[in-house]
Amino acid sequence: MDLERPLPTPITPECRPYWDGAREGKLMITKCRACGKPFMYPRVSCPFCASRDIGWVQASGRGRLYSFEIAHQILNKAFKVKTPVVLAMVELEEGPRLLSNLVGIAPDPKQIRCDMPVEVCFEKLTDEISLPMFRPAGGAR
């Protein structure tokens, strides 16, 4: 099958629950059971308190567009989505930030604003992999 994007590679054991969740349409994030703070990327020790007691929770999928760019060219040859593409940093309402793409809006810096509310959506790449993406909250325009 001809994929438009590089698949997440390699899926490390520590991040497996994130990708298992995404396949089922759930945005899973890690959370420290000791200090209660959620964080991403997944790791075995809490970056806030160094506790090793880490669990997974489902995020609401809501957040704000912390920053963005509009890519007119992509260096990675395995990325074949037609440009321009909106590259995004999203801050989840739980706190952690993720890199993603902003979809459902024209790739125009006059229309896209930092801090605009966004919500997760998923793009199925294969039977195994769905990729969390974000769109303006309240559905695509």
Site for another protein in 121-140 (CB under 8 A): 125, 131
**Which of Zn ion, another protein, none does residue 131 bind to, with CB < 5 to 8 Å depending on kind?**
another protein
- Is the CB of 38 or the CB of 84 nearer to Zn ion? 38
**Which of Zn ion, another protein, none does residue 122 bind to, with CB < 5 to 8 Å depending on kind?**
none
Amino acid at 117: P
| Position 32 contacts Zn ion (CB under 5 A) | yes
| Position 46 contacts Zn ion (CB under 5 A) | yes
| Position 56 contacts another protein (CB under 8 A) | no
Number of C-beta neighbours around residue 73 at 10 A: 7
Buried b (16+ CB within 10 A) or exposed e, 95-129: ebebebbbbebebeeeebeeeeebbbbbeebeeeb
For residue 139 the two structure tokens come to 């559905």
- Is the CB of 18 or the CB of 94 nearer to another protein? 18
**Which of another protein, Zn ion, none does residue 105 bind to, with CB < 5 to 8 Å depending on kind?**
none
Residues that bind Zn ion (CB under 5 A): 32, 34-35, 46, 48-49, 51
Residues engaged in binding another protein (CB under 8 A):
5-12, 15, 18-19, 40-41, 47, 66-76, 78-79, 81, 84-85, 87-89, 96-101, 109, 113-115, 125, 131
